[in-house]
């Protein structure tokens, strides 16, 4: 019988419990009403300003925009491809074969028909005229 009394006491204690001292009461707010989209606005094709039909010389022709494999590119296209790579893309080592010598390094820049290449064996970049370059091959990725 004592077991029964203890259980009764525990039940009566749990009913008379107070809320915790650090309890933050939340207000009973109604859930917000969700409304569906009532309007839609789009720009029509007629509102856009028409572009001129003349293409300035600075734009690249449609033929140059085509994706080519590296072997199909000309020497000038290969040099421009390597010189204009973004800084966050790792540079690829190239083998430049000229009339006199082979250079293995990174193509850094192309200005005034001069290709600037960083060679590991030399502390400073080397500039080579574009006309002297016979072939360009990728050494490794």
Judge if pTM exceeds 0.75.
no
Tens of pLDDT along 48-95? 555 555 544 445 555 555 677 888 889 999 999 888 888 898 888 999
Instruction: Name residues whose C-beta falls within 8 Å of residue 109's C-beta, 6 or more positions apart in sequence.
Output: 83, 115, 116
Q: What pLDDT, on a 0 to 100 scale, did the predictor assign at position 70?
A: 81
Helices marked H in the chain — which ranges? 2-15, 62-65, 75-83
Q: Strands 93-98, 102-111: parallel, antiparallel or unpaired by DSSP?
A: antiparallel
Q: Which domains, from first to last, does the chain contain?
A: 71-141 (2.30.30.520)
Tens of pLDDT along 96-114? 999 899 999 999 989 989 9
How many whole angstroms separate alpha carbon 126 and alpha carbon 41? 57
How many whole angstroms separate alpha carbon 92 and alpha carbon 104? 10
pLDDT band at 134 (very low <50, low <70, confident <90, very high): very high
3-class DSSP assignment, residue 97: strand
Q: What pLDDT, on a 0 to 100 scale, did the predictor assign at position 67?
A: 78
């Amino acid at each position: 019988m004592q077991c029964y009394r203890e259980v009764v006491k525990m039940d009566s204690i749990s009913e008379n419990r107070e809320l915790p001292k650090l309890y933050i009461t939340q207000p009973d707010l109604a859930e917000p009403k969700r409304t569906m989209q009532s309007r839609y606005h789009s720009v029509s094709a007629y509102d856009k300003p028409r572009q001129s039909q003349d293409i300035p010389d600075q734009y690249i022709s449609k033929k140059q925009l085509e994706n080519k494999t590296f072997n199909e590119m000309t020497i000038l296209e290969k040099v421009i491809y390597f010189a204009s790579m973004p800084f966050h893309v790792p540079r690829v080592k190239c083998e430049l074969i000229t009339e006199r010598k082979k250079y293995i390094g990174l193509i850094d820049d192309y200005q005034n028909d001069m290709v600037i290449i960083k060679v590991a064996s030399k502390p400073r970049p080397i500039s080579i005229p574009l006309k002297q370059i016979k072939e360009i091959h990728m050494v490794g990725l």
